[in-house]
Amino acid sequence: MVGNDWAMQFLADILNITVERPAVRETTALGAAYLAGLQCGIYENLADIEQNWALEHRFTPKMEPEARKGLIHGWQNAVDRVKTC
């Protein structure tokens, strides 16, 4: 999903937040490796690790509030229709 520009922009729009895509897209695996490196003494502190992080692209909300509200309302209606309890 992180590689899909449309999905990232939609996420930023629907949540009305800025979404940042890191240069390394396998961030979860990289984070585990960084924590292991921190534990083993390869990195002294979190600041050493933060220096390695790089931004690839920043997605900022562009959707109009009324459009966002309409999409969220439609999603909520769809969820209500499929609830079994």
Residue of 55, 54, 78, 74 whose CA lies nearest to 66: 74
Res 72 pLDDT > 90: yes
With residue 20 as reference, give the H or E element that holds it: strand 19-22
Domain ranges of the chain: 5-82
**CA dist., res. 49 & res. 58, Å (int):** 20
CB 38 within 8 A of CB 71: no
pLDDT digits (tens, 9 = 90+) for 43-69: 999 999 999 889 999 999 999 999 999
Res 85 pLDDT > 80: no
Q: What share of the chain is helix, strand, coil (3-state, %, to 5)?
A: 55, 10, 35
